[in-house]
A and B are shown apart, each in its own frame.
Chain A
Amino acid sequence: MKDKMNKVTAVIMLGFIFVFSGFMLFGEKKKASESENRKLAELPEISISSLNDGSFSQKLGEYVTDHFPARERLTALDARIEAQLSESIVNGVYVGNDMLLDIGTSEKGDMEKSAEEINKCSAAYKGAAYFVCVPTSAGVYGDTLPPYIEKNSESRQIASLYSTLGTDIRKIDAYNILKMLNDSYIFYRSDSKWTSYGAYCVYRTVIQKLGFSPTAYDKYTIDHVEDDFRGNLYHRSRYSGVKADIMDIYRCADGAGVLSCTGRDERGNVFSRSLYDRSKLDSSYKYDMYLGEPLPLVKIRTKVNNDRKLLVVTDRFGACFIPFLTQHYSEIAVVMPSEMSGSVRKMIEPDKYEQTLFLFGIDSMTDSSIFERLN
């Protein structure tokens, strides 16, 4: 009896393993994963050096993992099971009651170096510089995180960052604005970035500092263009138990329209862009709807007739913030140093703009290599 069952076990297991390895070997190989929004690993090449340091088997392991049969389903199940089995933490993402929060980046790097680079840049700049550091959702909703994770780390980090920035830079406190409004839908449930509404709330304060009065909320018509957005935290955790997010388009009916919106990369290629690019709603990362896929430089000309020019140096947090600014400036240049390899000054002459707004998420601040490109 027992012997027989052992044989049954052996046959079943052999069958299972060989079927999966067979699918693994001969199954269709995809280049990229939509649900994880990333490129999948390629079959590594054998070389003496990769065998020497073991990187060959590591990459082979990644290849097998990435192209494992039914990976999408398995990883989604994995997230559900892991959230049940122990703490609700899946791949560095905390699964809260109704939103995902990033706790993987709790070891924040040194922001002082980034601050020094910004100081250097603003010292060489003739106009007025403004700085906004935007917290992530984990910073604003820190109270819901497990007790052993430091709660106010982002507010303290922002405070210390602001104190190291030079006095000639005007700093704007986005953290407390967002913290006060944390009952509203200011952050996506499955992404660490803010929603258009969150951006609007900060815009009201920022634009006053820049010398304009903000456009009232009821002047906008708001389209919910997407109700099935899943952001970077979903891509990382693969946890689908949190409600999908809504993406909004804000249009000011009687406001000034956009004349032109062109992007440029470092080789000089020109791309046509728009504030809201609905075709991106079909891509794997729908957030790209805001201003399209990131480019080093995007120039926007508007029908506003005041000859005011603004330079915005930003990261992806800026993408949904820019549309609000178009009501006030006749020209806005959006620079994303994270998308460049060379210096910002090769692409644009900052002194042509009388005002510069630095708007960065706190995660970008820890990567000082981004800010070295400013000088």
Chain B
Amino acid sequence: MIYSSLLFIYGFLPVSLLLYYITPRRHRDKTLLGLSAVFCGLFSLWYLGLMTAYTIVNFTACRIIGRNRGRALSAVPFAAAMIFDLASILIFRTKYFTGTLSSIGVPDKFFPLGISFLTLSALGTLIDVYKGKVREEKNILRFALYIMFFPKLIMGPVLRYGGFVRALENRRDGLNEMGIGFTIFVKGLAKKVIVADNLYMLYKAVNSVNTNDLSALSAWLGITAYMLSLYFVLSGFSDMGTGISYCFGLRLPQCFNYPMFSTKIRYFASRWHMQVIHWFRRYVTKPLSSFSRSRYYRRLIFIISWGTLGFWYTFRLTGAVWGLLIGAAMTAENKLSKVRLLGITGTIYTFIIIAFGTVFLAGEELSGSLKYLLAMLGGNRIFADSLSFYLLRSYSVILLIGMYASTDLFRNMLMRSGRTRLRRVFSLVSPAIVLTFTVLCTILLSYSGSSGMILLKL
């Protein structure tokens, strides 16, 4: 049961809101945990089992580390839990273990959605506790909620333990928060159902053509669609998650800050999947670059950790190439930071570099991605064909909508308008807008009941 489904919006969500708000305040955490357990169990009992195992292993490890802080002994539970976490992501995200899994009775199509985010959270907490940066949690219920809190389960923000606890303790639940929550939720839903799903169709149409016959324009259209679709899927799901958390009074941070069409790669990188990138900086780049003070070494580590991030996205070599490319481009950019670029030139150059990178993120094999890249550069000696014009004709509206929605133009317009009438009018009509988008998304979901395309199995 994914957030963008009728069962969730008109079934699970109202039931959970009802149950949450009729429970007395001091028991609300338990209600949330119970709801999360049901949410996991509805995916599959195996999922619930995995989450429980995850909680118990990491919680116990943290407790033992905490008791033996400063002693060499604490390395044992640390290593054990780390191996468990890493093993579980490897087992489910690579295809080498499918035989083993099905031999113990795991259903064939079972994939613990969100395992990649979960592993990052759990590993981060483990490292922090081991290094003594946070105190270990003594309440297992709370820790369990951190692991399987259902609004952040699928693609929600990767939070450090302290951040989650702060959000939990500073909870302000009520109608006001719920209004904000619904607004964010519907925004995410619209991103997913209206924009991402349709743009994915464009990418699929381009992808169904043999790469050797692809015209340059079609190839560019296809990769632009994939790029935007990926952004809208990831940010859509995290918006939906954040919105639901708000409904329960938990203020979780945003994951994206309008990264598309930035004027520099650096800006793109600082606005894209912020918590995840922050995680990699904190737990990969920093520790590794502390070994040497050499500038070249640090640059190398910087690029490599971007490669690791890319690999985390796809668990394929191609994903790592995406990361390496962006990392290298950023290093080069920093070196040339004195060269001044006009806004629009910067946007175009950033767009082109990221589009090149996205080719690798989208591709399954390196050779296929290289071929696609060649097609984009006009290597097939066809600039545009009937397919490109057909796609332009059919998709220009949704492409333009997607491009506009992925920029911060609208938000900036509202911000700049200050206390003027525009802002007042907008806040007056906002309930109507939210309701309209809810109806529209419900209509678009009405035939199949859910929109489960997630591009990357994270």
Contacts and interface: CB of A to CB of B under 8 A. Distances in A.
Given A17-B13, A65-B6, A86 B201 contact: yes
- Report the interface size class on chain B: 35 or more
Nearest to B440: A81
Nearest to A52: B45
A306 to B, nearest CB: 52
A74 B439 CA distance: 10
26 contacts: A6-B178, A6-B179, A10-B176, A10-B179, A10-B181, A13-B431, A13-B435, A14-B17, A16-B438, A48-B45, A51-B42, A57-B42, A60-B42, A61-B1, A61-B5, A61-B6, A68-B446, A78-B444, A78-B447, A81-B443, A86-B198, A87-B394, A146-B390, A147-B387, A148-B387, A149-B208
B94 interface: no
A62 interface: yes
A7 B198 contact: no
Interface in B83-134: 107, 109-110
A147 B179 contact: no
B444 to A, nearest CB: 6
A53 interface: yes
A5 B424 CA distance: 10
A52 B45 CA distance: 5
B424 A65 contact: no
8 interchain residue pairs of minimum CB distance: A65-B449, A6-B179, A53-B107, A74-B446, A10-B179, A9-B179, A10-B178, A57-B42
A13 B443 contact: no
B353 interface: no
A9 B179 CA distance: 5
B287 interface: no
Interface of B: 1, 5-7, 9-11, 13-14, 17, 41-47, 107, 109-110, 175-183, 186, 194, 198-199, 201-202, 205-206, 208-209, 385-387, 390-391, 394-395, 397-398, 424, 427-428, 430-431, 434-435, 438, 440, 442-444, 446-450
A9 B198 contact: no
B444 A81 contact: yes
Interface string A204-242: 000000000000000000000000000000000010000
A123 interface: no
A18 B385 CA distance: 50
A9 B430 contact: yes
Interface residues of A, number: 52
Contacts of A71: 446
A65 B446 contact: yes
Contacts of A148: 205-206, 208-209, 387, 390
A327 B388 CA distance: 52
Given A54-B44, A61-B5, 14 more contacts: A5-B428, A6-B177, A10-B181, A11-B175, A12-B431, A12-B435, A18-B14, A52-B46, A53-B44, A53-B109, A65-B448, A74-B446, A78-B446, A86-B398
Nearest to B1: A57
A271 interface: no
Contacts of A66: 449
Interface of A: 1-3, 5-14, 16-18, 20-21, 24, 48, 51-54, 56-57, 60-62, 64-66, 68, 71, 74-75, 77-79, 81-82, 85-89, 91, 146-149, 238
A7 B179 contact: yes
Given A61-B1, A64-B11, A7 B387 contact: no
Contact of A89 (B6, B44, B201, B385): B201
Contacts of A7: 175-176, 179
